[in-house]
Structure 1
């Protein structure tokens, strides 16, 4: 198994082990963003299935927001990219297989 194949398998294992569901961010108004799974609004306020992580900064710090969004979006981005890598590897293998004499 190549180093790349091993690394992709390890990334896939971490992705599969992470808390399932869509991840979103919720700001507490004091500089902390919560990355939560299953975040959804209700008439009584925002609720979630689980808090995955917290990112702390200063109130009004836009970098903290960008970092929190990156972490939250990574849940779906990583799965998408891994699926795309698998798709491209399969296409390459099929092309390689059909071009062999």
Structure 2
């Protein structure tokens, strides 16, 4: 016999924990993404400045191609059996996704 009360409590705890962890990670991810964007922007500006002073020669075509190659490599990977993964982590991942979006939006 299935004890629906303990099942509901377990699912509720999983969703709440997932939401809390997702919120923290979402908030942190947005802060880290901003920091990385600033660092990359400053680095590219520094490269352009050094190139304008003829101190450094940058092959901008290769720089752009490396970003495209990395994106294509990430897109070509096949995920594992996504149906089983989704079903086994639905309660935690649902809360995590909601918390992540809330934390990312509040950052």
Please, what TM-score do these two structures have when normalized by structure 1?
0.34
Of Structure 1 and Structure 2, the greater strand share is in 1
Of Structure 1 and Structure 2, the greater helix share is in 2
Bigger relative contact order, structure 1 or 2, given CA contacts below 8 A and separation 6+? 2
